[in-house]
Structure 1
């Protein structure tokens, strides 16, 4: 455990980093405006202007409320601050509304609520193992982790350029992870329950939480040989966890259950009619599947084996259902796959590394095989993996591949060509990640083929941003750059998933969590 002087020094450099990244975010206030500005502005108007009973029925705008109730209450709280900037933003209307005051408020609200993320990062830094103090700050896992989390390129581009509140939400996830690493399991469970009722996408990692808490908290003792001791199951602990989950969910959904609106709320939260893929393909298994279907359709058309070519709707950038031409079409039930990796936690009772790897695997598994996955969902895996990267050489190598491919795949969120500031930010973050993690672990982290693959990302970028825009092929096939980006990055994400799965299976069963 670090002494008071060391803790004070850590607080000083951490506060400097937190202040620096907050000032950096302010530079993006006048960045381009995405449709998500209107989405959240409309939610501010809905929650501020209408009674609770009409929140999940209002459909004047196309951007209806489709987050869980706790996030709706969060929007209501923001609206009471926003009215002091521009009351017109709180009017429900079909047309989009933008004003300089509205945009300023929305940008500042993201920066302000990121305090939750800063707090979570601080707790994660306190939770990583510290072998010995080092005068070289790059040899300190806590410092490297703080930079990897606070200056994460993905969060900067998604929240502070594109615009969303992922930092606020990821703060709950990382703080929950930190509490579990510190063996404060009830606090961790409470934070995760709140998170699920803020945004249901975090159901991706719920299996890892459920198995880990059942195995490591509800079972209090193992046999001397490490086997599970069924007699050590604690009903008191089980009911304590259950009461936390039920209480938070009841507070969130209770009013809507009482009004008989639960089916309506759930229909908004799980809109399966939006189609298999998002308007811009996430780099997952379905991007590979779609590309294979299009390739086979084109080949079959030329060989006279199929009567019609691939459907343009699949690559039209629209949110809708479509059917594959050659390969079997995928239904929502097919995508409801849960990786069996979390079951391995039953054999890893006190290993926090196993919990984190299972959490990342759940996130990546859902990202690879989920229905209507958004590109930004890859951050649910990248950010927790940062904690493992500063403690494990193997995890550091996986992190470098996943963060590079996952972050590059976010560029299509910006509807203009990749601008110099965004490219520079990614290059700086990537270079720091490579240099700091290599120095921290004092060895090469990637093999030859892995380095060659990452060099290919630069080649794909050059083709998509320079070659295709200047060629007739790019004008004829405007979706081709995104297809190349998604398919190439999907291969890297799938590779990371495979390596992490093997890493989880090789984790020693009885290495206890190390916390500082």
Structure 2
């Protein structure tokens, strides 16, 4: 940990971390990219070449525009820079178009917009409770958190190899969380409202935002036992919050309301016709599955009740937000493996506060990150993903163990055995199975094994987090933040 001490001792360690990861992102520019690269190129072309009235109707490509209007305007803004790199990428009919200039523009657009993520991480680090025992001990949790967020393995491979803009969007979410810690509730609410109109997947965590703001902002006083003083409710604050949501929504959806296109926009954002269970009420296996799925999909709601009846300040809100995100990942339909980042990134903030949270974080992030391996299936990326994950995982475990060295071990024997099992699993999937006779007949086996094995770890982390929320400190005994 000598390097940690040197870094902390310097005055610019955060800038060094941010610059270092930016250089790494630049090195990843030539790597493989997925169909998401073409998706966003097509969206650049749609928003640049067509009038707004056609954005959500255009269907030349199968990758139609299906993000909320703010993201469409984001692509529109980027397109006016893209035209100076390669005008051909902005032609709607140039399907699957790619050139070296197009590649450079789109890669650098992700790197450039990550500046918001870097700023959000910096603001989150200010919210960490430092120990009053010297500068190094005070700064250590902040340094660890900065590494866990800025150098997050999942974010690196999903955004800068696979290709997406999760860093920019996660920056908005982390910044809104930081504003709640800083008691700047209106700013936090505004940022989250904006985020919802960039990507509607964040609706999953909206209950945590709504209950927390109602409980901790609209009610201005508590009784000594922690319960609400009902006569302290501020209608002015409630109206202010409602006005923020209304104005942001009006700016986002207003033009499409004026064009009488809201139904079309919503049909793109929420394609319910793609549902798995077409015969929903037929008395078959899928009816049983659907009923169970509906029950499990709302199981995260008790955490919202805990946020109301057992308030624990911004940390309680953060814990509830993570549980909402993880529950939606666990029990939702058509869930992408990349959605695990919605829980992993905010969980990083809790990991430097308590040993039990650090343990949950390490299980969740290690398993969740490994589940992303199948996204990068080409040979040149194999050593890259293995090396980057090993470095991130080793640092995460060693740094958090050092931070909580005076407490009980972060893992029990069962958890240790499970995490070590990821090694043999990777060896089998990447280096053994491809050379067996089963590879041609059952090519899906590595994906199946990875999915099932990782599901066990993520479910276990979800359960531990859920228990920690339900068994949290009673009302009246919470710490003030």
Bin for the TM-score computed over the shorter chain: over 0.9
Does structure 2 conserve the Cα–Cα contact (< 8 Å) formed by 1:137 and 1:143?
no
Among 411, 426, 440, the alignment partner of 2:373 is 411
Q: Quote the Cα distance in structure 2 between the aligned partners of 1:391 and 1:11.
A: 23
1:45: Cα distance to partner? 0.3
Counterpart position of 1:249: 249
The match for 1:423 among 374, 386, 389 is 386
The answer to whether the 8 Å contact 2:131/2:137 transfers is no
TM-score (norm 1): 0.86
Matches within 5 A, 1:230-241: 230-241=230-241
Which among 321, 336, 345 is matched to residue 359 of structure 1?
321
Match of 2:421 in 1: 456
Aligned-residue offset at 1:153:
0.2
Distance in 2 between residues matched to 1:19 and 1:324, nearest whole Å: 58
Match of 1:14 in 2: 14
Which residue among 368, 385, 393 is the counterpart of 2:347? 385
Residue 290 of structure 1: aligned partner: none
Q: Distance in 1 between matches of 2:279 and 2:65?
A: 21
Distance 1:487 1:321 in 2: 27
Local SS of the residue matching 2:58: coil
State the secondary structure of the residue aligned to 1:419: helix
SS at match of 1:391: coil
The residue number in structure 2 matching 1:110 is: 110
Please point out which of 398, 410, 433 is paired with 1:435. 398
Supply the distance in 1 between the matched residues of 2:128 and 2:288 (Cα, whole angstroms). Answer: 45
Query: Alpha carbons of 1:359 and 1:230: their partners in 2 closer, same or farther (altered >3 Å)?
Result: same
Alignment correspondent of 1:446 = 411
Q: Equivalences for 1:110-509 in 2 at 5 Å?
A: 110-132=110-132, 134=134, 136=136, 140-276=140-276, 328=287, 330-331=289-290, 334=294, 337=298, 339-340=300-301, 341-417=303-379, 419-442=382-405, 443=407, 444-508=409-473, 509=475
After TM superposition, give the deviation of residue 212 of structure 1 in Å. Answer: 0.8
Q: Given that residues 223 and 229 in structure 1 are in contact (C-alpha distance below 8 angstroms), is that contact kept between their aligned partners in structure 2?
A: yes
CA deviation digits over 1:424-450, x for unaligned, max 9?
000000000000000011142111101
What secondary structure sits across from 1:260 in the alignment? coil
Distance 1:101 1:95 in 2: 16
Alignment size in residue pairs:
465
After TM superposition, the structure 1 = structure 2 runs for residues 10-49 of structure 1, keeping only pairs within 5 Å, are: 12-49=12-49
Q: Name the CA distance, whole Å, in 2 between partners of 1:402 and 1:259.
A: 45
CA distance in structure 1 between the aligned counterparts of 2:10 and 2:332, rounded to whole angstroms? 40
Give the drift of 1:235.
0.6
8 Å CA contact 1:34–1:162 kept in 2: the answer is: yes
Offset at residue 137 of structure 1 (A): 7.0
Which range moved further: 498-507 or 203-212?
498-507
SS of structure 2 residue aligned to 1:140? helix
Give distance in 1, aligned partners of 2:353 and 2:469: 15
In the TM superposition, what whole-angstrom CA distance separates every residue of 1:302-322 from its partner, at most 9, and x where no partner exists? xxxxxxxxxxxxxxxxxx999
Cα distance in 2 between the residues matched to 1:441 and 1:355: 23
Moved runs in structure 1, 4+ residues, more than 4 A?
A: 8-11, 133-139, 320-333
